[in-house]
Structure 1
Amino acid sequence: MRIDVHDLRVAYDGRTVVSGLHLIASSGEITGLVGPNGSGKSTVLRTVYRHLRPAAGRVLLDGTDIGALPPAETARHVAALPQERGGDFDLTVHEIVVMGRTPHKRAFAGEDRTDRAVVTRALGRVGLAGYGNRRFSALSGGERQRALLARAFAQAPDVLVLDEPTNHLDVRHQVELLSLLREQGRTTLISLHDLNAAASVCDRLHVLHQGALVASGTPLEVLTPALLAEVFGVRAAVVEHPLTGDPLIAFDHRSVV
């Protein structure tokens, strides 16, 4: 499924946060949102998964205005991993992950064999096989992150919307997560602070700055020294990654622009 955002404007308390935004996430591709803190990335994602209602503009899911769909239907198509993850849920990991099956169930229906199989498979894919009976509140930050990602996978969506999913993950689990997203083949809209991670995993990047879209294209087209200086205020060289051939950003950590 394809996501199209048309002329989006979002406001908080009368203050415009995002304005005039147009972007796409093509079917089956990983599309990244990058930009400095406060640039509007999370706001855009919250609008896509309907946590926020836009002041103007539309979010289209395969051409249908997502705001016109019943919430349950939206949830069958779009799964989100927000940046605000919640806290110490007094639930087991299994109980957290099986929540992802809710959009596919009748009201008050209990879990069945299919649900349990889906949960087991989702936990295995995020490296948490055997964690089902553990308390969610007892997990580390990285384990919680992976459990919530398993919940999104259990939802069996067409579209994944992920807000900084590599937060709290060590390097190994970051690499595993990004590789897993690649293997999914699902339309994925993701925000990332790590520009090198974005360059390696994303098919397309949209760069946001002060609530506006300033660049779109492949990582190689977008991540230029000039843009990095203008938008992020850093000096950097962009070279070819010696292992993958992806753009690799070498930052000058001794000075800023």
Structure 2
Amino acid sequence: MNVAIEDLHVGYAGRNVVAGVHLMAASGEIAGLVGPNGSGKSTVLRTVYRHLRPTAGRVLLAGTDLRTLTPGQTARQVAALPQERGSDFELTVREVVMMGRTPYKRAFAGDDHEDRERVAHALAAVGLAGHQARRFSALSGGERQRALLARAFAQDPEVLVLDEPTNHLDIRHQVDLLTLLRDRRRTTLISLHDLNAAAALCDRLHVLHDGRVVASGTPREVLTPDLLAEVFGVRAAVTEHPLTGDLLIAYDHRAPLPAPCG
């Protein structure tokens, strides 16, 4: 399922946060949103999983305007891992992940064999198969992150929307997550601060700055030294990773540029 965002405008608290954003993710493509803090990445993603309503523009799922779908229809097609994540669930890990099956259930229906199978597979995929009975509130930050990702996988969506999913994960689990997303090949919109991770994972990148898309294309097309200087305010060399051949960005940590204007 492809996702297209057309002329998106979002404002709240008397401020225009996103203005005229156009971006897309083709079916089965991983599209990354990158940019400085406050550039509008999370705001754009929140419109896709209907946490925010745009003031203008539209979000299309396979050509269908999101506004014409019911919440249940949307939940069967889009699963999200937002930055605002509950930490006080008095539920077990299994119960939290089983919440991903809610869009497929009738009211008061119990868990069936398919639900249990999908939850088990999702927990195994994120490395939490042996933690089903633990309280969610007792997990570490990284474990909570993986449990909520398992909930999104258990939802079996056409589209994944992930807002900074590597936050709180140690390096091994970051690598595992990126490998898992790459292997699953679901249509994915993902925001990342780590540009090297974005370059390794994403088929397409959209660079946001001050609520607008300033560059779109493959990682090699958009992550140039000039763009990194203009948008992120850093000196950087762009080269090739010696192990994987992916794009590798090396930053000059000793001589930062002045902060970008705007």
Aligned to 1:219: 219
Deviation at 1:15, TM superposition (A): 1.1
- Distance in 2 between residues matched to 1:114 and 1:241, nearest whole Å: 41
1:155-170 pair list within 5 angstroms? 155-170=155-170
Q: Which amino acid aligns with 1:75?
A: A
- Distance in 1 between residues matched to 2:97 and 2:87, nearest whole Å: 15
Deviation at 1:66, TM superposition (A): 0.6
Answer yes or no: is the 8 Å Cα contact 2:87–2:136 preserved in 1.
no
Which deviations, in whole Å up to 9, do the C-alpha atoms of 1:39-95 show, x marking residues without a partner?
A: 000000000110000000000000000111000000000000000111221100000
Aligned to 1:194: 194
Aligned to 1:60: 60
Aligned to 1:40: 40
Aligned to 2:208: 208
Matched, 1:142 2:142: yes
Aligned to 1:242: 242
Displacement over 4 Å in runs of 4+: none
- Distance in 1 between residues matched to 2:75 and 2:184, nearest whole Å: 18
Stretches of structure 1 that go unaligned for 5 or more consecutive residues are: none
- Distance in 1 between residues matched to 2:217 and 2:114, nearest whole Å: 40
- Distance in 2 between residues matched to 1:185 and 1:37, nearest whole Å: 27
Per mean C-alpha deviation after superposition, the further-off stretch among 240-249 and 194-203 is 240-249
Deviation at 1:13, TM superposition (A): 2.1
Aligned pairs, how many?
257
Stretches of structure 2 that go unaligned for 5 or more consecutive residues are: 258-262
1:3-42 pair list within 5 angstroms? 3-42=3-42
Identity %, equivalent residues: 76
Answer yes or no: is the 8 Å Cα contact 2:34–2:191 preserved in 1.
yes
1:130 aligns to what SS in structure 2? helix
Aligned to 1:107: 107
Aligned to 2:85: 85
- Distance in 2 between residues matched to 1:38 and 1:160, nearest whole Å: 22
- Aligned residues: CA RMSD: 0.6
- Distance in 1 between residues matched to 2:13 and 2:172, nearest whole Å: 41
- Distance in 2 between residues matched to 1:13 and 1:38, nearest whole Å: 14
Which deviations, in whole Å up to 9, do the C-alpha atoms of 1:128-166 show, x marking residues without a partner?
A: 012110000111100000000000000000000000000
Query: TM-score, normalised to structure 2's length?
Result: 0.97
- Distance in 2 between residues matched to 1:211 and 1:255, nearest whole Å: 27
Aligned to 1:251: 251
Per mean C-alpha deviation after superposition, the further-off stretch among 10-19 and 160-169 is 10-19
Deviation at 1:188, TM superposition (A): 0.4
Matched, 1:125 2:132: no
